[in-house]
Structure 1
Amino acid sequence: MTRAQANLPALAIALLLVVASVAAAIGLAGSAFAGANTDPADSRLAASAAERLVTANGPLTVRANVLSRAAVANASANLDRLLPGATAVRVTLDGETVAERGNPTGGATMRRVVLVADASQRELSPAFDGSMEVTLPRRTGSATLTFDTGTANVTAVRANDRVVLHDEGGLDGAYDVDLARYDTVTLAFDTDGELAPGSVTIAYRVETTTKAVLGVTVDA
């Protein structure tokens, strides 16, 4: 009797394991059945639409796999470019609908991990106090330099030792400069005298990114 009672906990554990295994098997079978019932045409359209959205020249991107926050906010206007015709489609970002056409109650969904970029314009004016250099934030792909130097002249500007502006007579006015997006850029100024604070103004765009999941559901 004592041995039988001792075996009861082991029997109960064994039964729980059997029940869990059966439940898992049923769940897997249900998933497989659901996948088998997904319309291949819907799957192809969803995959194609998701691919178009994340390409470098897509209607929502600033570069491959990086979406513009501003473009996402206006995604509804781009649905016809994404998927012409009357097909029901929904585009989501982290589960939140950003664009929808029709009522895609079923169909197929394709998800892609992306970055979402927020951009803001900033401006600085170096003090040139003991240094003729200024470092810009990483991912600054371009800048506009405006010179109002007075008695001293800026004859050249180097970005990480690469000459991007040069004029022996002195730079004057505004100049657009392309920079290395993936490097931290330091601008160095060659002058023929001391520059006063406010002699040079640098306007540039700062980009911050966050990870998100883009979803495209198509119900043709």
Structure 2
Amino acid sequence: WLYCISFLLPIVLGVFPNCAEKNTVYLEADTRTGPRYAFVSGDQAILRTDPINIASEIDFPPAGQRLVVLERTAKQDTIDDVSDFWYRVRQDSGIEGWIFGASLSFSQQEMAQNVRGRKKEIEEILPGIWWEIEGDGSTGYRKIVFKNGYFFYSYGNRLENSGKYEITDELKLKLSAPTGLGEELEVRKVGLEYRIFARIENFTYVFRPAPEEKEYLEVEKEEESEQ
């Protein structure tokens, strides 16, 4: 019976070829069949376990992050009326997964133009007060005010620290002074509204813009009087 299996195995493999080879295209550097690197170009990028929109989420790579491209699907998929390939990529941390091509840029020039546009957009929406959001959606005790290139971080009514900030090419906020949130914050668009994320060890603080301009003006006066 071992002889029969050894005889039939090549036939079976010929009839049922490897699905991965049939449905994907490998993009190693030496083949020159595709780009080796890609850059995350949007806020809605999701790294998934498989090349399908309902697959489990692995990570949410931020805009500007560089990824190593390993493989792509042979056929395009359509999501929200946008058609593109799925790409299997690797992050610098070694984590691998699939990401929809509409969330990627494949040229540094294209990415640079995208970054400039995103930085300008962040500069426009950033000024004002940002409140912490608790897990249940309620407003927390932490808040950050951005004004004229400066930030003011408070816990409750107590001003904790202040200093200058800058928007990096990785679209993060780099703070000149340490805070309880660290010295680097991530700005990301969630739906139609921006959020600020601060990751401290295994916990993430999330901030959203204050809903009322009147509230911002009142807090602004408080911050100036405390200086």
Give the TM-score of the pair, scaled to structure 2.
0.25
Larger CA Rg, structure 1 vs 2: 1
Give the TM-score of the pair, scaled to structure 1.
0.25
Q: Point out which structure has higher relative CO (alpha carbons under 8 A, 6+ apart).
A: 1
